[in-house]
Amino acid sequence: MAVSVREAERLAAVLYGMSAVATSLPGEYDCNFRLRSSDGKEYVLKCMHPARKASFLEMQCSALEHLRIKAPHLPLPRVQRTRQATLFTEIADSAEQKRLVWMLSFLPGRTLEKTNPLSSEVLENLGWFLGELDAALGMFSHPAVHRELKWDSSRASWIGNQLHRIEDPSRRTLLEYFLSLYDQEVESRRSELRTGPIYGDANDHNVLVSAPWPQPRKIAGVIDFGDMHHGWIVSEPAIAAAYALLGKDNPLGVARDIARGFHRSFPLTEPEIATLFPLIAVRLAVSVVNSAARKEQKPDDPYVTVTENQAWVALERLAKIHPRFAQYALRDACGHTAVPKTEKIKIWITQRRKQGASVVEADLRTAPLHVFDLSVGSSMLGADLGNAEIHKLTRAIFERMQREHAAIGIGRYNEARMFYTSSQYGGDEAHRTERRTVHLGLDVFVVPGTAVCAPLDGAVHLLAENTAELDYGPLVILRHETDDGDEFFTLYGHLTPETLRELKPGQTIARGEVFARVGTLHENGGWPPHLHFQVILDLLDRGAEFPGVARASERSIWTSLSPDPNLLLGIPEKKIGPVESTVEETMPRRRELLGGNLSVSYRKPLKIVRGWRQHLYDETGQAYLDVYNNVPLVGHSHPHVVRAAQEQLALLNTNTRYLHENILRYAERLKELLPDPLRVVYIVNSGSEANELALRLSRAITRCEDTIVLEDAYHGHTNTLVDISPYKFAGPGGVGKKPWVHVAPLADDYRGIYRRGEPDLGVRYAAHVEEICRELQSRGKRPTFIAETLPSVAGQIVFPPHYLGKVYQHVRAARGVCIADEVQVGFGRLGTHFWGFETQGVVPDIVVFGKPIGNAFPLAAVVTTRKIANAFDNGMEFFSTFGGNPVACAVGLAVLDVLQEESLQGNALHIGGLLIDQFKALQQRHPVIGDVRGSGLFLGLDLVESHHTRRAAADQASYVVNRLREEGILAGTDGPHHNVIKLRPPLIFSEADAEQFCAALNRILHEDPAQSAA
């Protein structure tokens, strides 16, 4: 190297009076060094390539000085002055070559290239940052900015006569395609593109991102102003996007994020947005041509090909995106209507409605019709997707129409639906997990053979038969023109094959003319007979492949491409009714109507409208694997449980003052599952009500309030239960411990006072309870001991062996009562045993059940001994209005049936075992996993900052569950430090579910914010 590290240190001393240690930095041309001065500050010393001119350096220095003054809020390198107060100076290197030397402050941060994940927030912030930067550079001037630079997007056509350098003909064709797009879309707008000094080099090595925490990460600066030039403003976000999208599955999503951010600080004009996509592509094209040229000169230089391969892949991906769709998507990101002509055409169409534009012979404005709710959350079909099977769906639709005396049924526009189940509606490369669900047309359900007429004058544009499962079947597209000559189309799907035979492309069709007929379910693509009617403003060269269903994340783009057909048809809005409101619309209503401390899960709240087996579905139809909701024990909406509730509710639901078999049957079934002397059953409605009752039962015999609880325990939300729940009374808003409450240390062998590997853990932890019992006994008190048999809220804790056995001995020695709170862990979840207390070899005096007992139906129970029940039976009536009602008991019985019939305890054991093995393997790879614990499908991953200190990694845990949610998996955190990822899925959880969860977890644990600090 022409400048050594030693020399750099000497230069720092001589030129800057700085004593510093230098390390070499990678660079293509110049010799750059990182300096750490004796006062701990860091700098970059740049010894420029001998060919660099002073004017080039002067431009960069004055631009950075300009930005220091005009945009002090932007973190940027600051130029350090020499001892002579100059911004740079000249030296002779070891080869006697003259080099210009300057020094900058060092900017901490991770390069964009090394940032994982490159989230939407970071990308948007990058756009914003560059917009601010260019806005501040607006008034900057320097002669060297007006330079001829091969990277200047306004000069990109130079690559046109360099394409011979690309050997592969298909790659050459790819570049020719993007160059012609550039000619078409960019050259024609030259005069409309604003110019100014731009930074021009936001590549993934030059952009720095802040540390993973705090979230969200921000741009921590950009370095290297060597490509600054006077160019098109819109080149700035285009260049940034071209680099940021390398290696990304969804390049358009990346470009949208950057454009959105840039537009926020430096609003782009519509012509500028129209050039953005071609400019992104052409930047990559320039990059690959440049690499090819450099490779010819320096065949062995790896620096040249750094981004080349990724750039080719990106170009191939971009070529698959229709450029007009890209333009619409980018307009949408910048807050414009996606398709420029949408509003104008909507007005024109709406005016046509007055003339009576219908697609069937009846006038839909006045005809008797039934509007269906086919949304994800519609109760019409239930949660079982099997009900959308063609014959069932057809029957459901036409029976309903018959009942409503309507010959016409309407399926709504812009409605997210669940029944697009075939593979063509699944995820694609850019949207791995997101299915297409949003209906872009309007359905007209009518009997097969019904005549279809043209709502407007038009001409046959296209006839096709799409035979794929759940496709359009036979379809016709008509072409129309507004009075201003704007073209648009209407699509008619699910027709008869004869329709296609009777029409010819180009044939004109007059308004009101019958031109098609509705097909049967055997010929129409496999749907209940109906017409799918859709308006399309731009076919995007897709012809018959134009989608009738879109992804919710692209809803605003597609609904702009396909506006509401009812603008034309005029079915009264009050008949159509509103579509499901979005999260953004729902949140303020919730805040307004409900108590503020009713918390909402996840940074991006979820609106859940359907649950089926181990999945929950949001209002857009996206599925979430439910990994932590232990209430739907046998799966969401289990048909056997649902039927039991529905049938009983349709017959009778009343209180326990009348005799009824259900409560007795249920009490008998529970008793069969419990050991002696647990013989007397009470049925209530919630875990809290059950724990309240358990305390009353205990106090009836002890005649004493004193209660022993464990650290961090939670037993319910009523006054008394908050008093005995350290998680609440010692937490935010809590009023502290009552004198009659006695807290024993949590027998947590990972983070507690005695730890795994030490002897007699159970005995030693139990000794603390013994001490409390002794003290109470000495005051003539009889204690109640209440604990979860495996504490869940305290962090998915598994007690050490013999713990509860010893505790119960001590409590009983003090003539106390032992309550087992099985609200979370009971009913087979643990795999090895049906009840948690069995894992410890004890039998409680009172046992409390809740949550999963009714598979989400309000039901809870308390079971105790005859002796305690007799003491409680003291003359005061026990009555809970809804407790033990016939519906609840029918549900409880159904849950027990399913548990048995589907062998779910065994499944919990099997899948839990697989999960534990996989978690232990992940623990080897990811030091953030401190502990893996649990049993069956009651599992916890304890995340730590370091294995040594076991300091809780709460930020990382919160990050992981929020990222899992983005990946379509619902998990939560628990424990006093909120660092334990809890897993308590429905017991029907499968091997595939376990695989899905572990793969996503592994991916996320590789991301920067999930790393432990150590």
What are the residues binding ligand PLP (CB under 6 A)?
686-688, 691, 714-717, 788, 793, 821, 823-824, 850
Q: Measured from the CB atom, is 714 or 837 closer to ligand PLP?
A: 714
In whole angstroms, how close is the CB of 669 to ligand PLP at the nearest point? Answer: 21
In whole angstroms, how close is the CB of 720 to ligand PLP at the nearest point? Answer: 12
Reported residue count of the chain is 1014
454 close to 509: Cβ distance less than 8 angstroms: yes
Q: Measured from the CB atom, is 238 or 710 closer to ligand PLP?
A: 710
Give the orientation angle of helix 169-185 with respect to helix 308-319, to 10 degrees.
60
Q: If DSSP codes are grouped into helix, strand and coil, which group holds residue 605?
A: coil
Q: How far apart are the first and last CA of the chain?
A: 35
Torsional sign, CA 840, 844, 850, 855: positive
Beta-strand (E) ranges in 68-194? 79-80, 89-92, 98-105, 110-111
Q: Measured from the CB atom, is 496 or 686 closer to ligand PLP?
A: 686
**216 prior amide bond cis, ω within 30:** yes
Partners of 785 in the β-ladder: 708, 818
Closest CA to 304 of 288, 316, 315: 288
Which residues have a Cβ under 8 Å from the Cβ of 741 and sit 6 or more positions away? 706, 707, 709, 723, 724, 729
Q: If DSSP codes are grouped into helix, strand and coil, which group holds residue 675?
A: coil
In whole angstroms, how close is the CB of 791 to ligand PLP at the nearest point? Answer: 8
Q: Measured from the CB atom, is 112 or 823 closer to ligand PLP?
A: 823
Q: Measured from the CB atom, is 119 or 824 closer to ligand PLP?
A: 824
In whole angstroms, how close is the CB of 831 to ligand PLP at the nearest point? Answer: 19
In whole angstroms, how close is the CB of 893 to ligand PLP at the nearest point? Answer: 20
Closest CA to 277 of 198, 205, 189: 189
Residue ranges in 357-494 assigned as alpha helix (H)? 390-403
The rounded radius of gyration (Å) of the Cα atoms in the chain is: 35
In whole angstroms, how close is the CB of 888 to ligand PLP at the nearest point? Answer: 13
Q: Measured from the CB atom, is 272 or 689 closer to ligand PLP?
A: 689
Closest CA to 86 of 74, 98, 102: 102
How buried is residue 172: exposed, middle or buried, by Cβ count under 10 Å (0-12/13-18/19+)? middle
Q: Measured from the CB atom, is 460 or 793 closer to ligand PLP?
A: 793
Q: How far is CA 284 from CA 569, 597, 624, in A?
A: 46, 50, 37
Q: Measured from the CB atom, is 259 or 722 closer to ligand PLP?
A: 722
In whole angstroms, how close is the CB of 363 to ligand PLP at the nearest point? Answer: 54
In whole angstroms, how close is the CB of 751 to ligand PLP at the nearest point? Answer: 19
Q: How far is CA 340 from CA 271, 538, 554, in A?
A: 11, 11, 16
For ligand PLP, the nearest residue by Cβ is 687
In whole angstroms, how close is the CB of 890 to ligand PLP at the nearest point? Answer: 19
In whole angstroms, how close is the CB of 698 to ligand PLP at the nearest point? Answer: 15
Q: Measured from the CB atom, is 309 or 881 closer to ligand PLP?
A: 881
441 close to 548: Cβ distance less than 8 angstroms: yes
Concatenate the DSSP letters of all residues of 773-804 into one string: HHHHHHTT---EEEEESS-STTTS--PPTTHH
Label the pairing between strands 680-684 and 442-445.
unpaired
In whole angstroms, how close is the CB of 816 to ligand PLP at the nearest point? Answer: 20
232 close to 192: Cβ distance less than 8 angstroms: no
Q: Measured from the CB atom, is 393 or 746 closer to ligand PLP?
A: 746
In whole angstroms, how close is the CB of 854 to ligand PLP at the nearest point? Answer: 10
Q: Measured from the CB atom, is 33 or 666 closer to ligand PLP?
A: 666
Q: Measured from the CB atom, is 63 or 846 closer to ligand PLP?
A: 846
